[in-house]
Amino acid sequence: MSKKYVYLFTEGNANMRELLGGKGANLAEMTNIGLPVPKGFTVSTEACTQYYEDGRQINDEIMGQVKEALKTLEQRTGKQFGNPENPLLVSVRSGARASMPGMMDTILNLGLNSVVVEGLAKLTNNPRFAYDAYRRFIQMFSDVVMEIPKSNFEAIFDANKEAEGVKQDFELSAEGLKKTVKEYKVKYRELKGEDFPEEPSVQLYEAIKAVFRSWDNPRANVYRRMNEIPYSWGTAVNVQEMVFGNMGETSGTGVAFTRNPATGEKALFGEYLFNAQGEDVVAGIRTPKPISELEKDNPAVYKQFVEVANKLEQHYRDMQDMEFTIENGKLFMLQTRNGKRTAAAAIKIAIALVKEGLLTKEEAIMKVEPNQLNSLLHPQFKADELKKGVVITTALAASPGAGTGKVVFTAERAKELVAAGEKKVILVRAETSPEDIEGMVVSQGILTERGGMTSHAAVVARGMGACCVAGASEISVNAEEKYFTCNGKKYSEGDWISLDGSTGKVYDGQINTEPASISGDFAVFMGWADEIRKLHVRTNADTPADAKRAFEFGAEGVGLVRTEHMFFNGAERIKAIREMIVATSVEKRKEALAKLLPMQRGDFEGIYRAMEGRPVVIRYLDPPLHEFVPHTAAEIKEIAEDTGLTPEQVQETCDSLKEFNPMLGHRGCRLSITYPEIAEMQTRAVIEAAINVTREGKIKVNPEIMIPLVGDIKELKYVKKVVVETAEKVFAEQGITLPYEVGTMIEVPRAALLADEIAQEAEFFSFGTNDLTQMTFGFSRDDAGKFLEDYYAKKVFEQDPFQHLDQHGVGKLMKHAVEAGRATRPTLSCGICGEHGGDPASVEFCHNIGLNYVSCSPFRVPIARLAAAQAQVKNPRK
Amino acid sequence: MSKKYVYLFTEGNANMRELLGGKGANLAEMTNIGLPVPKGFTVSTEACTQYYEDGRQINDEIMGQVKEALKTLEQRTGKQFGNPENPLLVSVRSGARASMPGMMDTILNLGLNSVVVEGLAKLTNNPRFAYDAYRRFIQMFSDVVMEIPKSNFEAIFDANKEAEGVKQDFELSAEGLKKTVKEYKVKYRELKGEDFPEEPSVQLYEAIKAVFRSWDNPRANVYRRMNEIPYSWGTAVNVQEMVFGNMGETSGTGVAFTRNPATGEKALFGEYLFNAQGEDVVAGIRTPKPISELEKDNPAVYKQFVEVANKLEQHYRDMQDMEFTIENGKLFMLQTRNGKRTAAAAIKIAIALVKEGLLTKEEAIMKVEPNQLNSLLHPQFKADELKKGVVITTALAASPGAGTGKVVFTAERAKELVAAGEKKVILVRAETSPEDIEGMVVSQGILTERGGMTSHAAVVARGMGACCVAGASEISVNAEEKYFTCNGKKYSEGDWISLDGSTGKVYDGQINTEPASISGDFAVFMGWADEIRKLHVRTNADTPADAKRAFEFGAEGVGLVRTEHMFFNGAERIKAIREMIVATSVEKRKEALAKLLPMQRGDFEGIYRAMEGRPVVIRYLDPPLHEFVPHTAAEIKEIAEDTGLTPEQVQETCDSLKEFNPMLGHRGCRLSITYPEIAEMQTRAVIEAAINVTREGKIKVNPEIMIPLVGDIKELKYVKKVVVETAEKVFAEQGITLPYEVGTMIEVPRAALLADEIAQEAEFFSFGTNDLTQMTFGFSRDDAGKFLEDYYAKKVFEQDPFQHLDQHGVGKLMKHAVEAGRATRPTLSCGICGEHGGDPASVEFCHNIGLNYVSCSPFRVPIARLAAAQAQVKNPRK
């Protein structure tokens, strides 16, 4: 029962992505639509999975198929591995189902050895080229296959360049390169204790193994976790006949997009380098030329490339990101894929493709990653502050948005400072590499000295929606000594700078930012999403300001007001709640609550007004009371004086509130059962505010009162009774009646299990998936961070269940609760107000299990709207 | 649609217990089998429920039916309410489905007023009797209906007795009683601001309301919680024509059992008092005569009573507890019920009833409350210490077992001391009352100065399996000043005494106790339970000694070894674990673990030997590591010196282990994922111990390795791999292979939800219902105590879900997990090792959902065995 693990490019197609990886599938597709693609084959992702199952060994069956494919490749190219007369050289590239910059990328020129290199020199009559290729191969192979640090070889290479007095790599003579190769091999033996492998088949075997191995390296694991790529997918390996961009001045290599990936503008966009191999462009070591100049340099090749680009965009019905090589004036396509782009570009392109008739609206909304919208909602500089801004340099506008922060020079330092509480840092690097990803994530922006629009920094920053200014050649970074200079001025760690990733401008000092709004293409696009989606999107908002912002971002209501957040808002409030806590009788407690009443009522009025008649879900006091207690002696003294207690008595009450496991302690509805007067005050505030705003005559108010942490119907019944009695009392006092609902959070597993009962009392459900996740897993969110790192490292978990809803376990409870709740009360409205409500994958799940709405933070409202629309396209529901 | 709320005794029968309460149903039954029962009727439990639904009002429909029944009663008795010529007097008694001493009990002589009392005096030609009845009525009505403390009236009564120079109640003259009644009424008006009610129908209405109200008094609520009686049941009220035991020397009242409730001996057992009403016997105010003396005093009545008793025992096929009154030489039965009895008596009676052909074995095992067995397993005095014991007095052997402790004089003080950590107290009271229950629960034994075998102290102590010596008239208790004297010697609070409730002896000082064993009738009875039951019973045991004791109590294996408990066992062990915790490298951690290995291995060997080949489930390290860290500076210094770290470093490690919610923190299998070397060491200990004991050649060892706190199959997979690899290594080293299993606790809700998956890896399940309850409810066991009191007070909860398994919610998860697990692995063994495993109701649930075994603490093993057998009788399974 032999399985097919190896596919010639002629055997695959674009739909075989899962098996061949994105790169392999597209190489096959291009081959089959007749584009100039060097011949080759792909070792499938299943071979990778098998490699891990076999204890990190490539078994004989797979290697047999590789050899078979290689033989075919030799026949078809007419070249041979190891034959100096007519040598076959290949590239070896990783290629997973999704693009993964964190993995080993490429080995070029594989097949060279001390004999073949001489043959190649003779054959091409170009010893410089041959030894440059060999030099590169040794360097890459040593680095990515043998894990010898690059610096060992760079030092040798630099010494040889210096010896000849040249600066650029391509200026080094053939002799210099020969010497370099010789010294490389000595270094290799010195470090590895054995000779650099001469046998091409050994080189190939080791290279394939290295690609498979790289699937499990720490960078790849981090990248997968960030991008939700399952470990189980594995990577494919592409083995492809070499074509050479470094054969001289009629050769070159480049990358290009069919449209501008930053703006979405319809024009070929890219860069190329003469006499170079691919790595030179991506690495940002030499600054490449814009693709448009190719038209002058080689009009024929340019024309052919434009045709290829158009054909690919039409074929894939999406903007393409292509790699090509020109060998002695002949064009070869090495890769195509749907290009990564900024959110603004993604939207512009999606709208354009609909206008061009290539896509329907439904297809178009699938072209934008919901999380990407984040960048459009990102802060922009405040106009008035920007006026006074001093530009210190202008470079590539590599990733849009504005950022301001304190300068740091390493990713580690960025992480450290942010972990220590620093809110704003700007990462400044000579150039970035995959090791820097985590530092980039926590930064407000990234500034690099070297590299183009497709450099690592630019690509990654756009992907994550962070602002980035790249290739700022006027700055000079000294990471060691923690400073950079720019036109004579020195900036040290901790100094403020500001970046505009949309203009490429770098400003001196701090320029504060403000949020963006939804207009233009963005508004059109979101309109389409709203037309399509069935799932409503509400927001979590604790203040009128939050509610207003969310409303502007399209929130259709408030899904969660955390009333306790209001208590922290100002000294007077916290004082009143503290008086409530230390009260020694119900009367005193009610007195203290009476002070909070007008404040809460005022906040609710503001939120009702901001939402203009849309529903507002108000959750009653949730956290344990010890979160509010005074800590300092002065605070304790103040409360003691206000309440006529001794400081010792106040201290004693505070101490008595301490809990072993506060998460599972005296909080949520449990507080209202002990102190029904709290629920009374909150009901009075909710209802009185609703009456006041209703009487203003402009809007109808729809308060939904949400009782937290219910685990048993009797808890809900008890608190609901307090709510209803108080509401009736207020209605009687005011001579007016208003509709309101009383519902509950489903956040305790028991409530989810017994949802059929709970729905007898609850008029709505809202899943509190933060707590539901904590209790279903038995994970304390405040503590799990420590051991979850071990879980990731050991592949026990791949995702943080607090970031991405655990659809399998927690989701099972949710699905049950929705079904059981609606069996009791068919009209039961169900929503989610945990932080998962703004996570696209979780939004899709909520759509699939039939929730009525998701509620998320204001900035995630547009993301949830788009995710909801995409969910509807994938799995239409009525 | 009128509902029937009131039933004449002629309308009911013994099966109507739910509707009529136990007392009402049996009064009806006795009426219908032709026994001499005063006529009357029962207001049903549904009327009580209705009373609460109507906001604590008896509605007109119910009162109408009461009046109707009263009219019938008047017709049938030929007497009339309020008619001085021929007055109807009634008793009003509460009567719930289950006997509830915590509730209002009885009002006698209702119907008397200033006119009727004169009529009664004339009619009986016995003014002393008439005024004694009136005095009692005012006193009882004021106390239980109007809640006027008894002491107000006792002072008046005592003053009048003193004025006449008499000691006993019945010695007071008619004039003295008349004066007493007059003064009572003055006192009543003084305290209530209105006259004592004259109108019999008002008296009746208030009395019925008082019974209903008493269902919700704090004592009743506590009693119900202790005895698992649902609040929703409600109580019935029995209204019955008075017969008078206080009509003179040919009248009397008494209580009797058909067999001895302490020993089970087949002989009429009881007490009676001449010229008294029932309350005099129960209250223990006068010391009554043994029932046997009635034969001399009134042979005809005695003969009739013996016939009635035999008839009732045959009819109910169980030992009966009867109340009777003799009015002018005529016998009346006032109550019968299955008698409360000691566990020893229960067993003896059950066995006798089988021998007498009245019961099958299956019926017989239902006659013993599993929890009662507790008393048989209670400590007895150590024989050698007992030899030296000095008896200070001997009184009634009211409840068997031995106890030793420090003397306390109030229930509150008993609770205080025990809460403060005192392990052993003896409660000494003049007499006990329902207010004392909670103090009795925490005491090692109860000693009373007054009262007989049916006094409150005796009845309650037997019920709860506590030892009790009652009616010790040689002691004189001064509770106020906290001492008692006995034959000239004074014992103050804190002095030690010892009680033998089986002999009635009270000893000076501390006599230590030792556990009992299962033999004789007990062994026979448990043999029957074992024949019947299908559910196996294992034990939780952390030491060889625990395992041995449990084995003697019939444990069929160990269901839980908490390995961490071994770590606390001795300075050397705790030191080694601390070294493990502060280890800065895997190597150092392994070094520390190597020190623990021989200790764990030795413990396991001991447990294997104790269990003689029965299965032993060993749970791997479960608690968070901070439970083991050193606390004092000296301990920190010691560990620092041992490990070559600075004290600051040790302190830092300890601090870093602190968690916000340790219950949901880094514990259970999470520890083994971070530190697989711990699981390695534990596996080595488990397997090496098994090999060593197997090589001794006497027994086969069946270790079952249990991984705690699993929530995802990958966690189990990871740790199982470590276990299996280590076991294989040990097998290879030792040249021997042994069977063992790897399973998991189901204690995280997610594991229960995904049990189908977990069962792919787990070879057995054991429900850890402590943690499962915590997480399913979101209750921290360490914190919930505080707010659960509010839950009980407000009827949100009636039971502590940590004591009695929440079958409805947690049980639903368990049922799902069993079904899902067995769908994957049909042979999956499922058990429970949470503390619920020893709770009879929970055991029944475990039987019903098809668990293979329950595991509980050694002392609860016999209880679980019996509960399992009863579950099988109720719901037979294969």
Q: Which residues of chain B have a CB within 8 Å of the CB of A801? A: none
Determine the average pLDDT of the residues in A151-180.
Answer: 92
- pLDDT for the residue B98: 87
Q: How far apart are CA B334 and CA A694, in angstroms?
A: 67
In chain A, the residue whose alpha carbon lies closest to the alpha carbon of B668 is A778
Query: Is A833 an annotated catalytic residue?
Result: yes
Q: To the nearest 5 percent, what fractions of chain B are helix, strand and coil?
A: 50, 15, 30
pLDDT of A502: 79
- Partners of A623 on chain B (C-beta within 8 Å) are none
Model pLDDT, residue B344: 86
* Nearest chain B alpha carbon to A667: B787
Q: What is the mean pLDDT of chain A?
A: 92
Whether the Cβ atoms of residue B842 and residue B835 lie closer than 8 Å to each other: no
Does A249 have pLDDT greater than 90?
A: no
d(CA A16, CA A353) in angstroms, rounded, equals 25
The pLDDT value given to residue B1: 52
Inter-chain contact B780–A665, Cβ cutoff 8 Å? Answer: yes
Question: pLDDT at position A102, please?
Answer: 65
Contact A664 B718 (CB under 8 A): no
The model's pLDDT over B358-404, given as tens digits with 9 standing for 90+, comes to 999 999 999 999 988 877 887 788 878 888 889 999 998 888 789 99
CA distance to partner chain A, nearest, from residue B781 (Å):
9
What's chain B's length in residues?
A: 878
Chains A & B: contacts with CB separation below 8 Å: 163
Please name the amino acid found at residue B856. Answer: C
Helix (H, G, I), strand (E, B) or coil at A337: strand
Helices (H), A553-675: 563-567, 571-582, 586-611, 633-643, 647-656, 669-674
Q: How sure is the predictor about A791, in pLDDT bands with cuts at 50, 70 and 90?
A: very high
Contact B749 A749 (CB under 8 A): yes
Out of A709, A783, A791, name the one closest to residue B661 (CB): A783
Nearest to A780 among B659, B718, B795 (CB): B659
Q: Look at B865 and A544; give whichever has higher pLDDT.
A: B865
Q: Of A379, A446, A463, A458, which is closest to residue A411 (Cα–Cα)?
A: A446
* CB atoms A750 and B777 under 8 Å: yes
Whether A159 contacts A113, CB under 8 Å: no
Q: What share of chain A is helix, strand, coil (3-state, %, to 5)?
A: 50, 15, 30
H or E segment at B446?
Answer: strand B445-448
Asked if A673 and B790 come within 8 Å (Cβ–Cβ), the reply is yes
Is the per-residue pLDDT at A549 higher than 90?
A: no
Identify whether A468 is a catalytic site residue: no
Q: Decide if B783 and A664 are in contact by the 8 Å CB cutoff.
A: yes
Q: With an 8 Å Cβ cutoff, are A809 and B711 in contact?
A: yes
Mutate to test the interface with A, among B231, B621, B663, B664 (most CBs of A within 10 A): B664
- What is the reported pLDDT for B377? 80
What is the predicted pLDDT for the residue at B702? Answer: 87
Tell me the pLDDT band of B102, cut-offs 50, 70 and 90.
low
- Picking from B661, B747, B750, the nearest residue to A782 by CB comes out as B661
Res B101 pLDDT > 80: no
- Give the rounded percent of residues in chain A with a pLDDT score beyond 70: 98
The predicted pLDDT at position B371 comes to 86
Q: Between β-strands B320-327 and B330-338, what pairing exists: parallel, antiparallel or unpaired? A: antiparallel
Best A667, A779, A802 member to test B by mutation, with max B CBs in 10 Å, is: A779
A500 beta partners: A402, A505
| Residue of B657, B661, B746 to mutate, interface with A, max A Cβ within 10 Å | B661
Determine, for residues A797 and B673 on separate chains, whether the beta-carbon distance falls below 8 Å: no
Q: Which residues contact A388 (CB under 8 A, 6 or more apart)?
A: none
Contact A664 B791 (CB under 8 A): no
Using an 8 Å CB-CB cutoff, list chain A residues near B813. Answer: 749, 753
Please give the Cα distance from A529 to A328 (Å, whole number): 48
* Residue type present at position B102: G
Residues of B in contact with A660 (CB under 8 A): 662-663, 780, 782-783
Distance from CA of B253 to the nearest CA of A (A): 46
The pLDDT of B823-827, averaged and rounded, is 97
Q: Indicate the pLDDT class of residue B466, thresholds 50, 70 and 90.
A: confident
Put residue A186 in one of left, alpha, beta given phi > 0 → left and psi -120 to 50 → alpha.
Answer: alpha
The verdict on a CB contact (< 8 Å) between A774 and B664 is: yes
Percent of chain B with pLDDT over 70: 98
DSSP string, B104-160: --EEEEET--HHHHHHHHHHHT-HHHHHHHHHHHHHHIIIIIT---THHHHHHHHHH
Which pLDDT tens digit goes with each residue over B113-163?
Answer: 999 999 999 998 999 999 999 999 999 999 989 989 888 999 999 999 999
Give the one of A673, A754, A776 whose C-beta lies nearest to B749's C-beta: A776
Contact between chains at B749 and A782 (C-beta distance less than 8 A): no
When CB atoms are compared, the residue of A666, A747, A783 closest to B783 is A666
Residue with the larger pLDDT of the pair A571 and A208: A208
User: For residue B719, what is the nearest residue in chain A, using CA coordinates?
Assistant: A796
Confidence class of residue B854 from pLDDT cuts 50, 70 and 90?
very high
Residues of B in contact with A678 (CB under 8 A): none
Q: Answer yes or no: do A662 and B753 touch at CB < 8 A.
A: no
Q: pLDDT > 90: what percent of chain B?
A: 74
Confidence of residue B284 (pLDDT cuts 50, 70, 90): low
Annotated active-site residue in B468, B830, B833, B846 = B833
Statement: residue B75 has pLDDT above 80: yes
Q: What is the C-alpha separation between B175 and B123, in angstroms, rounded?
A: 18
Report how far residue B525's alpha carbon sits from residue B365's, in angstroms, rounded to the nearest whole number.
Answer: 7
Identify the pLDDT of residue B464.
66
For B263-283, the pLDDT digits (tens) are: 899 999 999 998 888 777 666
Interface contact A753-B771, CB threshold 8 A: no
Contacts of B256 by beta carbon, 8 Å cutoff, 6+ apart: B268, B269, B270, B271, B272, B291, B305, B309, B321, B322, B324
Interface-testing mutation among A231, A627, A677, A775, with chain B (most B C-beta atoms within 10 A): A775
Calculate how close chain B gets to A745, using CA atoms only, in Å.
13
pLDDT of B283 reads 63
Using CA coordinates, name the residue in chain B closest to A778.
B664
Q: Please tell me the predicted confidence (pLDDT) of residue A247.
A: 83
Higher pLDDT, B632 or B677: B677
pLDDT in tens, B488-546: 899 999 999 999 987 899 999 999 988 777 888 999 999 999 999 999 999 999 888 88
> Comparing C-alpha atoms, which of B20, B81, B35 is closest to residue B241?
B81
Residue A285's pLDDT is what? 66
List strands edge to edge, sheet with A235-241: A6-8, A40-43, A235-241, A90-96, A106-110
pLDDT digits (tens, 9 = 90+) for A99-141: 887 676 789 999 999 999 999 999 999 999 999 999 999 999 9
Mean pLDDT of B771-788: 92
What are the pLDDT digits (tens) for B225-234? Answer: 777 788 889 9
Tell whether the model's pLDDT for residue B287 goes beyond 90: no
Partners of B492 in beta bridges = B483
Q: Please give the Cα distance from A264 to A348 (Å, whole number).
A: 5
How many angstroms away from the CA of A357 is the closest CA of chain B? 47
Which of B747, B783, B796 faces A661 most closely, judged by CB atoms? B783
H helix intervals, A509-584: 520-532, 544-552, 563-567, 571-582
Distance CA A551, CA A553 (A): 5
What pLDDT is recorded for position B463? Answer: 57
Note the ipTM here.
0.82
Nearest residue of chain A to residue B713 (CA atoms): A796
- The per-residue pLDDT for A591 is 93
Q: How far is residue B354's CA from residue B98's CA, in Å, rounded to a whole number?
A: 25
Hunting for tokens 């594989």 — which residue is that? A110
Tokens of B194: 């209105």
CA distance B567 to chain A (A): 22
pLDDT score of B546:
84
| B660/A777 Cβ within 8 A | no
Q: What is the pLDDT of residue B315?
A: 96
Q: Which amino acid does the sequence have at B1?
A: M
pLDDT band, residue A397 (cuts 50/70/90): confident
Q: What does pTM read for this prediction? A: 0.83
Residue B616: pLDDT band with limits 50, 70, 90: very high
Which among A710, A748, A753, A816 is the top mutation candidate for probing chain B, defined by the most B β-carbons within 10 Å of its own β-carbon?
A753
Q: Which of A486, A654, A830, A833 is labelled catalytic? A: A833
Identify which of A19, A9, A208 has the alpha carbon closest to the alpha carbon of residue A96. Answer: A19
pLDDT in tens, B407-418: 999 999 999 999
Please state, as a whole number, how many other Cβ atoms lie within 10 Å of the Cβ of residue B27: 30
Q: What is the pLDDT of residue A461?
A: 79
Mean per-residue pLDDT, A84-96: 94
| Residue range A353-391, pLDDT digits in tens | 999 999 999 999 999 999 888 778 877 888 788 888 899
Between the two ends of chain A, the Cα-to-Cα distance in Å is 46
Residue A793, pLDDT above cutoff 90: no
> Are B748 and A776 a contacting pair at CB < 8 A?
yes
Query: Could you say which of A48, A378, A456, A467 is catalytic?
Result: A456
